[in-house]
């Protein structure tokens, strides 16, 4: 990411704390970013312009948008499955991130959910389904099964433990599920969405479950982009790993802010001007109209 903004983030992760204050501060930061941003030059005088596809070319398909660039200091194994890609952390026994492209045509299909969780023995550090048994946490999908109804193979693959994180049941069945349903509606409207989701670990997140020692995160992020719309846009959400009451807009952040939290670089194959613009600001009203 080319933009260098200093962002003050307050992420409320402790149980029982209301997140409205966090959302208010995030929206203040968003306003500061918008006020301080210089609009890209219409003349396209960008020294890197030749390195990437130009913005506004409707025939262009940007490659690998679902893959997040991961800092060298974070253990990560790249693994492609049918319908999604994982950057897997063998030390945490969870993904760093899971990314996928969701087409409007993939929001429904004939393949049914089978709940057949499985360990990928070829992936170092992959957890086993029984690691979560009686742990108090759900096997929380990052790429949801409902996004994979278009293919039997994709449905099978999305139950791999490399796609799972320990997730509080109230989040998994509540706000996280609500966001997943919204994504499918937005994909139908915008034709294509790029989605990347993953856990957020604090240094104090030392709790582990199961024989494998699966690390439990404090929070989860999800970043979304609609890069092929007439007015491309992006949005991000951060939820604590607990019940997340209230309106979805309380949990909205910019992609830039999530990059600051995680260290990952999202949507880096977009043209620089487009990437910088859609990652620096967001509008939940624009997405939810």
27 included as an active-site residue: no
- Going by C-alpha positions, the residue among 264, 235, 239 that lies closest to residue 171 is 239
Catalytic residue, candidates 5, 27, 61, 141: 141
Residue with tokens 């760093």: 96
> Which tokens is 9 given?
């983030």
> Which tokens is 79 given?
């693994």
| Whole-angstrom distance, CA of residue 126 vs CA of residue 86 | 12
151-156 CB contacts, 8 Å cutoff, 24+ apart? 151/82, 151/83, 151/109, 151/111, 152/111, 153/82, 153/83, 154/81, 154/82, 154/83, 154/84, 154/111, 155/111, 155/112, 155/113, 155/114, 156/82, 156/114, 156/116
Number of Cβ within a 10 Å radius of residue 69: 16
The distance of Cα 287 from the centroid of its chain, to the nearest Å, equals 16
Active site residues: 141
């Amino acid at each position: 990411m080319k933009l260098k903004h200093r962002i003050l983030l307050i992420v409320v992760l402790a149980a029982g704390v209301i997140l409205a204050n966090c959302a208010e501060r995030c929206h203040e930061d968003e306003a500061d970013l918008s006020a301080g941003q210089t609009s890209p030059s219409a003349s396209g005088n960008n020294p890197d312009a030749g390195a990437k596809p130009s913005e506004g070319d409707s025939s262009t398909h940007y490659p690998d948008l679902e893959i997040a660039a991961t800092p060298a200091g974070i253990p990560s194994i790249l693994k492609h499955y049918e319908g999604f890609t994982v950057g897997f952390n063998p030390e945490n026994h969870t993904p760093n991130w899971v990314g996928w492209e969701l087409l409007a045509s993939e929001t429904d299909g004939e393949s049914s959910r089978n709940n057949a969780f499985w360990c990928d023995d070829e992936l170092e550090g992959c957890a086993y389904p029984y690691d979560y048994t009686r742990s108090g946490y759900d096997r929380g999908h990052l790429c949801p099964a409902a996004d994979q109804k278009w293919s039997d193979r994709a449905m099978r693959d999305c139950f791999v433990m490399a796609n799972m994180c320990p997730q509080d049941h109230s989040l998994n069945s509540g706000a996280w599920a609500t966001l997943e349903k919204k994504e499918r509606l937005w994909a139908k409207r915008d034709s294509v969405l790029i989605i990347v989701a993953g856990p957020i670990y604090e240094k104090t997140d030392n709790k582990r479950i199961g024989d494998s020692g699966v690390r439990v995160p404090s929070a989860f992020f999800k970043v979304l982009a609609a890069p092929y719309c007439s007015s491309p846009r992006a949005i991000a959400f951060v939820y604590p790993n607990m019940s997340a009451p209230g309106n979805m807009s309380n949990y909205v952040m910019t992609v830039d802010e999530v990059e600051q939290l995680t260290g990952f670089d999202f949507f880096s194959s977009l043209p620089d001007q487009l990437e910088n613009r859609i990652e620096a600001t967001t509008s939940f009203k624009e997405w939810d109209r």
